[in-house]
Chain A
């Protein structure tokens, strides 16, 4: 915990005050410079232990946390469920208690069950960072998106941001709705009716027309079609999805001329996003990845109360 960020855990964006979010972003911006140094190592979290507990496959988020931990000199260990006793039927509580017995300072968890980090926070002493829980929240993703937006556009307030795709299953969409609205951006959500859950209209405008959503947008955030969750018959074919709801170059032209295109990855090229858009000049997808490390460094430092000393 620190003065600018009075929280023990990072479970979601929803409970954060705008000023707390600003603190994380400012800290991340300051720490980002470390990543450009020839020797990318600072002692800020020396002697701190972080466990990365990943119950769901993840390349980007997990490696991003690992890099952040290494750069900050924390001792870290990563557990993926395919190689752990979870495969032998151990409960989340038992796994967590066993990890706790090793006295880690923080557990970073990715889990397919919404609310799993809250469960952990109730039963553990360690600081808990939610690295994505079910369809609930993915706070560090929203933070890195915001950092990217701020870098590219100089501000968040008043920006028109379209969030497009599978909103129903997306924790990224939920975290971004909270974050962007708290910081004054104008968000519009767009999804086919079958992938738009009830109730979000009370928070932000929603539309089934992607054309309408991207009209004049300063930024477009594409959401992944989660093919592994598509057994529910939400739409007739990937072909029709791409044609009616995918981001094509033609649709990009409806947006502001300086629009930036974001995607949390991994992308389904030719489904929610056309390849030429993903690879186009307005794409900031790789900047998002770099900012991801910076944001996670900031979260680690703020929660573990390490010094913000960045000299090696």
Chain B
């Protein structure tokens, strides 16, 4: 396999505390050398002058919809969207149809990812059979087949006893349990966050307390069992507080937040006049919640930024607000949103952002990558902090088109994505390397 030299860029690798002008030499799918002047004989040179070279970004929370809902997304389209958005790996949630609750389905997903995907796909298995919240799925088989965690995402594990068992049993296989935290008796029928805005809009609301209660419960159960719990798409001030206190006590709890919960509030549902691109679960919360989540991100309580990329067909969204499907796409906007709205205004520095989207996600689930240390996979995300572009859903590679960020002009975009040393996406204006097919 050919050698590739990324030359002229600034390497930002928080796994090793590096932020410097270095050359990165890649060979046989691995990083060989990162130094001021790499031994580059015979290497194809990619000029990345003026750009940031980072360990590949990893999304812990993606819905690829395959198998079962290929009308909404496929492994082929979802991974292309991921590559375009700067992600070299995605963790695929198991709420497919059928749910990914057995080794056979996990293997089928991985097989498809190998032939049709352009980034790494790490399947997440179901916590319970059929995600029904009744019996544990076969974690041993799921792990062996390639699952990197378990989750009933989209559905909370309602029974505290079953959640306890999951947190206990998962330890035999080193699996983290990812929970969608929502107390369903408080949120049934809700279309948005409960608060003054839902009152004025006459929409049924889910109170923030409904999420917080479950996060508190999960932290306590992780403490009780010694298991590892990861809180998906955390969105309330109370949930941030629960995770913060849990971490202070040494509980094995980690958490992620999405760009939309970091940047938007429920006021947008009103301002957009019931635009269903503002409908997702958990819903956009209050300004106080948003600020608390941002503070949790800044102080390290929240470990990662994840997309909760949830593509839907037009028909599932172009209906009455309370009938519309929950979920928006995020893979192709997350990095640019973070650069423009979190890094540029100074909420985070660039190294911290790379940690939140690469190094930390890798650590949370024990995945390869998240670093450019020699010997590690050559999964690389290249950022152009000066690139300015408007979010246009018509240009998305995902089949999903619904995003509340349509029309936003953002500065700072991913411009090249390498997976195992091969180009998965290339938007470099001065370099003509073609994206490889498959990997």
Task: List residues of A whose CB falls within 8 A of some B CB.
Answer: 14, 91-93, 111, 113-116, 118-119, 122, 133-137, 171, 174, 197-200, 202
Q: What are 15 sample pairs from A and B whose C-beta atoms fall under 8 A apart?
A: A14-B200, A91-B315, A91-B318, A92-B319, A113-B320, A114-B322, A115-B203, A115-B322, A133-B202, A134-B203, A135-B202, A171-B202, A197-B198, A199-B196, A202-B196
Establish whether residues B320 and A136, one from each chain, have CB atoms under 8 Å apart when the complex forms: no
CB-CB under 8 A from A136, the residues of chain B are 201-203
Is B35 interfacial (CB 8 A cutoff)?
A: no
Q: What CA separation (Å) do A192 and B315 show in the bound complex?
A: 39
- Mask for B150-181, Cβ within 8 A of A = 1, else 0? 00000000000000000000000000000000
Contact of B199 among A93, A113, A119, A199 (CB under 8 A): A199
Known contacts: A198-B194, A198-B195, A199-B195. The answer to whether A119 contacts B202 by CB under 8 A is no
Establish whether residues A114 and B202, one from each chain, have CB atoms under 8 Å apart when the complex forms: yes
Is B413 interfacial (CB 8 A cutoff)?
A: no
Q: What CA separation (Å) do A14 and B322 show in the bound complex?
A: 21
Q: What CA separation (Å) do A93 and B274 show in the bound complex?
A: 15
CB-CB under 8 A from B274, the residues of chain A are 114-115, 118-119
Known contacts: A136-B201, A171-B202. The answer to whether A111 contacts B320 by CB under 8 A is yes
CB-CB under 8 A from B273, the residues of chain A are 115, 118, 122
- Mask for B306-323, Cβ within 8 A of A = 1, else 0? 000000000100111111
Known contacts: A118-B274, A119-B274, A134-B203. The answer to whether A113 contacts B321 by CB under 8 A is yes
Is B92 interfacial (CB 8 A cutoff)?
A: no
CB-CB under 8 A from B196, the residues of chain A are 198-200, 202
| A169 nearest in chain B by CB position | B202
Q: What CA separation (Å) do A134 and B196 show in the bound complex?
A: 16
Q: How far is the CB of A182 from chain B (nearest CB, A)?
A: 14
Is B197 interfacial (CB 8 A cutoff)?
A: yes
Task: List residues of B whose CB falls within 8 A of some A CB.
Answer: 194-203, 273-274, 315, 318-323
Q: What CA separation (Å) do A119 and B279 show in the bound complex?
A: 14
Known contacts: A115-B274, A118-B274, A119-B274. The answer to whether A200 contacts B199 by CB under 8 A is yes
Establish whether residues B319 and A114, one from each chain, have CB atoms under 8 Å apart when the complex forms: no
Establish whether residues A93 and B202, one from each chain, have CB atoms under 8 Å apart when the complex forms: no
Q: What CA separation (Å) do A91 and B276 show in the bound complex?
A: 15
CB-CB under 8 A from B321, the residues of chain A are 113-116, 119
Q: Which of A93, A114, A116, A200 has the largest count of B CB atoms less than 10 A from its CB?
A: A114
CB-CB under 8 A from A116, the residues of chain B are 320-321
Q: What CA separation (Å) do A174 and B320 show in the bound complex?
A: 20
Q: What CA separation (Å) do A122 and B196 show in the bound complex?
A: 25
Establish whether residues B199 and A198, one from each chain, have CB atoms under 8 Å apart when the complex forms: yes
Contact of B201 among A93, A115, A119 (CB under 8 A): A115
CB-CB under 8 A from B194, the residues of chain A are 198
Q: What CA separation (Å) do A234 and B73 show in the bound complex?
A: 41
| B197 nearest in chain A by CB position | A199
Residue pairs across A and B with CB atoms within 8 Å: the count is 63
Q: What CA separation (Å) do A135 and B323 show in the bound complex?
A: 15
Which 3 A-B pairs give the minimum distances between C-beta atoms?
A199-B196, A115-B274, A136-B202
Q: What CA separation (Å) do A129 and B174 show in the bound complex?
A: 59
Q: What CA separation (Å) do A14 and B202 show in the bound complex?
A: 13
Q: What CA separation (Å) do A119 and B324 show in the bound complex?
A: 12
CB-CB under 8 A from A133, the residues of chain B are 202
Q: Which of B198, B199, B273, B319 has the largest count of A CB atoms less than 10 A from its CB?
A: B199
| A114 nearest in chain B by CB position | B202
Q: What CA separation (Å) do A93 and B199 show in the bound complex?
A: 26
Q: How far is the CB of A205 from chain B (nearest CB, A)?
A: 15
- Beyond contacts A114-B274, A115-B201: 4 other A-B pairs, Cβ-Cβ < 8 A, are A91-B318, A92-B320, A93-B319, A135-B203
Q: What CA separation (Å) do A211 and B320 show in the bound complex?
A: 39
| B315 nearest in chain A by CB position | A91
Q: What CA separation (Å) do A118 and B324 show in the bound complex?
A: 14
Contact of B200 among A111, A113, A119, A174 (CB under 8 A): A174
Q: Which of B201, B202, B273, B274 has the largest count of A CB atoms less than 10 A from its CB?
A: B202
Q: How far is the CB of A98 from chain B (nearest CB, A)?
A: 15
CB-CB under 8 A from B322, the residues of chain A are 113-115, 134
Establish whether residues B199 and A197, one from each chain, have CB atoms under 8 Å apart when the complex forms: yes
Q: How far is the CB of A176 from chain B (nearest CB, A)?
A: 13
Q: How far is the CB of A192 from chain B (nearest CB, A)?
A: 16
CB-CB under 8 A from A93, the residues of chain B are 318-319
Q: What CA separation (Å) do A14 and B197 show in the bound complex?
A: 13
Establish whether residues B201 and A114, one from each chain, have CB atoms under 8 Å apart when the complex forms: yes
Q: What CA separation (Å) do A119 and B274 show in the bound complex?
A: 8
Q: What CA separation (Å) do A200 and B197 show in the bound complex?
A: 10
Q: How far is the CB of B308 from chain A (nearest CB, A)?
A: 23
CB-CB under 8 A from A197, the residues of chain B are 198-199
Q: What CA separation (Å) do A202 and B195 show in the bound complex?
A: 12
| A171 nearest in chain B by CB position | B202
Q: How far is the CB of A260 from chain B (nearest CB, A)?
A: 27
Q: How far is the CB of B436 from chain A (nearest CB, A)?
A: 41
Q: How far is the CB of A180 from chain B (nearest CB, A)?
A: 15
Establish whether residues B203 and A114, one from each chain, have CB atoms under 8 Å apart when the complex forms: yes
Q: How far is the CB of B312 from chain A (nearest CB, A)?
A: 15
Establish whether residues A137 and B202, one from each chain, have CB atoms under 8 Å apart when the complex forms: yes
Known contacts: A135-B202, A174-B202, A199-B200. The answer to whether A115 contacts B195 by CB under 8 A is no
Q: What CA separation (Å) do A190 and B385 show in the bound complex?
A: 54
Q: What CA separation (Å) do A111 and B321 show in the bound complex?
A: 12
CB-CB under 8 A from A134, the residues of chain B are 202-203, 322
CB-CB under 8 A from B323, the residues of chain A are 113
| B189 nearest in chain A by CB position | A232
Q: What CA separation (Å) do A114 and B199 show in the bound complex?
A: 11
Q: How far is the CB of B287 from chain A (nearest CB, A)?
A: 13
Q: What CA separation (Å) do A133 and B406 show in the bound complex?
A: 27
| B320 nearest in chain A by CB position | A113
Q: How far is the CB of A307 from chain B (nearest CB, A)?
A: 31
CB-CB under 8 A from A122, the residues of chain B are 273
Q: What CA separation (Å) do A197 and B196 show in the bound complex?
A: 8
| A135 nearest in chain B by CB position | B202
Q: How far is the CB of A86 from chain B (nearest CB, A)?
A: 12
CB-CB under 8 A from A137, the residues of chain B are 202
CB-CB under 8 A from B197, the residues of chain A are 199
Q: What CA separation (Å) do A111 and B195 show in the bound complex?
A: 23
Q: How far is the CB of A132 from chain B (nearest CB, A)?
A: 10
CB-CB under 8 A from A111, the residues of chain B are 320
CB-CB under 8 A from A92, the residues of chain B are 319-320
CB-CB under 8 A from B199, the residues of chain A are 197-200
Q: What CA separation (Å) do A110 and B28 show in the bound complex?
A: 64
